[in-house]
Amino acid sequence: MQYDLVITDVEIVSPTGTAVGNIAINGQTIAAVGDVSESEGRRLLKGSGLTAIPGVIDTQVHFREPGMTHKEDLESGTRAAVVGGTTTIFEMPNTNPTTTTEAALKDKLRRAEGRAWCDYSFFFGATTENAELLASAEKLPGSPGIKIFMGSSTGSLLVSDDEDVRRVLKHGKRPVAVHSEHEPRLRERKALISANPHPREHPFLRDAESARLCTERLLRLSAETQRPVHILHISTADELPLIREAKDKGLNNTAEVTPQHLWFNADDYERLGSLLQMNPPIRSKDHQEALWKALDADLFDVFGSDHAPHTLDEKAKPYPESPSGMPGVQTMLAALLTFVHQGRLSMEKLVRMACANPAKLYGIKNKGSIAPGFDADLVLIDRKASYQFTRNLVESKCGWSPYEGETFYGSIEHVFLRGNWMLRDGGLQHHAVGQPVTFDWK
């Protein structure tokens, strides 16, 4: 048997274990794993000393196109993704115009064709006007399903009261991704801003109770309608018992945690100011440590970057005029590998939450695993290497990162997307060959 490429003697990580072996690729597909002879490869890549994981699937990014392409676009965002080891992205609907019609979804798909460095799909945004259309909208090609903003954030999408959320949940079957903050409380607390506001007030104004109240409402409505929800970027200790209770009841609800909510805490506002400002906020050490304990207890299902870039000029505006959001698609895997180096995360859990679980949750076809028949989406990592992340390494059009000056452990050496050798020895080698994600939803 002859294969297009054989990767030899590489450490292969799955959600259940790690073993050294060979990986054979034919065309766009993994053809064999394990006992594959070097002589069977038309090309060889010596993998000794490297670790192979499936390409990361980031199910929450904001690439700002159309309407805000001065800070990011589909080309620059997907390029940053590939450099960071992410080979599949789900992009959010709060662009301008919003992705709330079939025409808007098709426009994004057209824009991505020939420009995307990784595979992609685009969420369809729920509104109070389109709720009854969502059962058909969630099945549209190129979309993983529906996104609800229950709390106002960047953009104009908002579905905040119980009756409207109920209507959305009643129309469709796929898991609904939700930004969970209680809009009435957010509005009330705006009046509490100080006379000399600073970004350190952000977690006070958008407080933990705002998140808890909304997540409590959301899980109640999920149980009532029997519609599973996927709660994005959990940020508080207060929400964790609610999520655990819902999971114990078997409601099939899932939850995401971001690397930045695990890496940073409220003390970092003094150093980073509005660069740390995001929704829901980076919070106190108590909340940060509660998230770590929940991660250890397997409460979270996936990691997501919530990549949401703004320019430095926009971020330099006085708080609260400064916009919320930070880049993260390029640094998500780097941060997670650093947690592994610190002994706070296992490689197996990293692969489960960043690769296998996103594929399972959304019914992605042939992704998320290093196994015969799956897409040859692979990331090869030198786990012994370390480096300081500096501004000149940022691929995002926004040109900055909250991780500047931080030391990352684990260097991303090679990235394959459906067999295309996208990143070789740390440098981009191929071109934009991304395609729409295919779903196999039952």
User: What is the pLDDT averaged over residues 10-15?
Assistant: 98
User: Is pLDDT at 303 greater than 80 in this prediction?
Assistant: yes
> pLDDT digits over 360-408, tens only?
999 999 999 999 999 999 999 999 999 999 999 999 999 999 999 999 9
Q: How confident is the model at residue 420 (pLDDT cuts 50, 70, 90)?
A: very high
User: What is the pLDDT averaged over residues 64-84?
Assistant: 98
Task: Give CA–CA dist 162/345, Å, rounded.
Answer: 37
Q: Residues of the chain with pLDDT > 90: what percent?
A: 96
CB-based contact 33:23 (threshold 8 Å): yes
What is the model's pLDDT at position 141? 97
Query: How does the average pLDDT of the chain come out, rounded?
Result: 97
Task: Give CA–CA dist 342/257, Å, rounded.
Answer: 18
Cβ within 8 Å of residue 252, ≥6 positions away:
175, 228
User: What is the pLDDT averaged over residues 411-427?
Assistant: 97
Provide, for the chain, the percentages of residues in helix, strand and coil under a 3-state DSSP scheme, each rounded to the nearest 5: 35, 25, 45
Q: How confident is the model at residue 442 (pLDDT cuts 50, 70, 90)?
A: low
The reply to whether the predicted model has a pTM over 0.95 is yes
Domains of the chain (ranges; CATH) run 3-52+371-385+409-428 (2.30.40.10), 55-362 (3.20.20.140)
User: Is pLDDT at 154 greater than 90 in this prediction?
Assistant: no
Q: Residues of the chain with pLDDT > 70: what percent?
A: 99
What is the model's pLDDT at position 430? 82
> pLDDT digits over 186-199, tens only?
999 999 999 999 99
* Alpha-carbon separation of residue 169 from 150, 279, 358 (angstroms): 13, 23, 21
What is the model's pLDDT at position 153? 62
What is the model's pLDDT at position 156? 61
Task: Give CA–CA dist 278/404, Å, rounded.
Answer: 17
Task: Give CA–CA dist 19/132, Å, rounded.
Answer: 49
Taken in order 155, 272, 345, 33, the sign of the CA dihedral is positive
